[in-house]
């Protein structure tokens, strides 16, 4: 994992948009070293960067020059979780297709395309001092750690969810086995309100876990007893990848969501005393250390 990686071949994923309800597809293609993850919609190139986040309401939206792409977090999580540094994502439709509400379809597509190592060193953000952002009783932190790690806690006033907490050391195997297949979730009582507001128009039991009073409505039930907190970890992996580089640190999230995830990334970039950039073929026995400002 010391060298940048991209796809061997292009691959297409087709489905429906969770919020728009409209058909949508993405073509994910190889890209050269240093490209990063780049979305293309209506001819506009939108780098997958915290700087291009335009909305965090119920999904993460990227935009530039009046063009936006919504619901990017699951695809970003799949790319980040599998260690893909460089790719071009051409989007046909207003948002990335939701598929089954998880990152499984994207993981399968990336595996089918193949992943290849490039002749360029990867750069890492290594956290050296803790940083925390708050929103009322919610918080998101990044702490020093020798390896990438995430700890997430949720607390919903609902008997099917309640207080759940999970901590994982993050690598490609753990992502695929423990996180990628977890689905987005919502409450039946909120569906009508959301759809009246033009949201969740493509939502169904085929692409989300829907919870009613005291039960899960999906016939197959949950994929994990704590699928809810695992999906929050999936979202966070996608959101935090918008820092532009893999992070060596410990994400600690307490009831965080898209908005707070993005605030954490912005605050991290704005506080250079909290990190260094590592670059080289031997991490942590590193060849050079750069400032984040110089690197991005």
Q: Which two tokens stand for residue 113?
A: 């395309």
CB 185 within 8 A of CB 231: yes
Over residues 170-211, the pLDDT tens digits come to 999 999 999 999 999 988 888 878 778 777 778 888 999 999
> What DSSP line would sit under 177-201, residue for residue?
IIITTPPPEEEHHHHHHHHHTT-ST
Q: Which position has the token pair 């087709």? A: 14
The continuous run of DSSP H or E covering 236 comes out as helix 227-240
Q: Which two tokens stand for residue 2?
A: 């010391």
Cα separation, 83 vs 96, in Å, equals: 20
Mean pLDDT score, 256-266 = 98
pLDDT at res. 295: 40
> What DSSP line would sit under 69-94, residue for residue?
EB--HHHHHHHHHTT---EEEEEESS
Mean pLDDT score, 36-61 = 97
DSSP letter at 95 equals: B
pLDDT at res. 10: 98
Q: Which structural domains are found in the chain, ordered by start?
A: 3-120 (3.30.230.20), 124-295 (3.30.1700.10)
For this structure, is 258 an active site residue? yes
Cα separation, 21 vs 295, in Å, equals: 39
The catalytic residue among 74, 250, 258, 262 is 258
Mean pLDDT score, 126-146 = 98
CB 184 within 8 A of CB 231: yes
Percent of the chain exceeding pLDDT 90 equals 82
Cα separation, 176 vs 273, in Å, equals: 33
Helix (H, G, I), strand (E, B) or coil at 47: strand
Q: Which of 212 and 280 is assigned the larger pLDDT?
A: 212
Cα separation, 42 vs 69, in Å, equals: 10
pLDDT at 289 over 70: no
Nearest to 101 by CA among 206, 210, 217: 206
């Amino acid at each position: 994992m010391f060298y940048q990686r991209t796809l061997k071949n292009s691959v297409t994923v087709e489905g429906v948009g969770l919020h728009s309800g409209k058909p949508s597809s993405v073509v994910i293609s190889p890209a050269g070293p240093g490209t990063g993850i780049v979305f293309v919609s209506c001819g506009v190139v939108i780098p997958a960067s915290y700087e291009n986040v335009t909305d965090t309401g119920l999904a993460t939206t990227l935009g530039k020059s009046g063009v936006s792409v919504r619901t990017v977090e699951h695809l970003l999580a799949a790319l980040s979780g599998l260690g893909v540094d460089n790719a071009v994502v051409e989007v046909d439709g207003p948002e990335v297709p939701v598929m089954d509400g998880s990152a499984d379809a994207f993981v399968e597509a990336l595996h089918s395309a193949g992943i290849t190592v490039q002749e360029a060193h990867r750069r890492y953000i290594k956290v050296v001092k803790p940083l925390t952002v708050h929103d009322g009783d919610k918080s998101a932190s990044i702490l020093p750690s020798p390896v990438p790690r995430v700890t997430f806690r949720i607390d919903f006033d609902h008997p099917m969810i309640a207080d759940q907490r999970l901590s994982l050391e993050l690598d490609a195997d753990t992502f695929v086995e423990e996180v990628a297949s977890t689905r987005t979730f919502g409450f039946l009582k909120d569906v009508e309100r959301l759809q009246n507001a033009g949201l969740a128009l493509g939502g169904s039991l085929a692409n989300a876990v829907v919870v009613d009073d005291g039960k899960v409505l999906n016939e197959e039930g949950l994929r994990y007893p704590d699928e809810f907190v695992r999906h929050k970890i999936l979202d966070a992996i996608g959101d935090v990848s918008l820092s532009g580089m893999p992070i060596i640190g410990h994400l600690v999230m307490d009831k965080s969501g898209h908005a707070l995830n993005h605030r954490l990334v912005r605050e991290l970039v704005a506080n250079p005393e909290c990190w260094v950039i590592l670059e080289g073929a031997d991490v942590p026995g590193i060849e050079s250390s750069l400032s984040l400002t110089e690197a991005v």
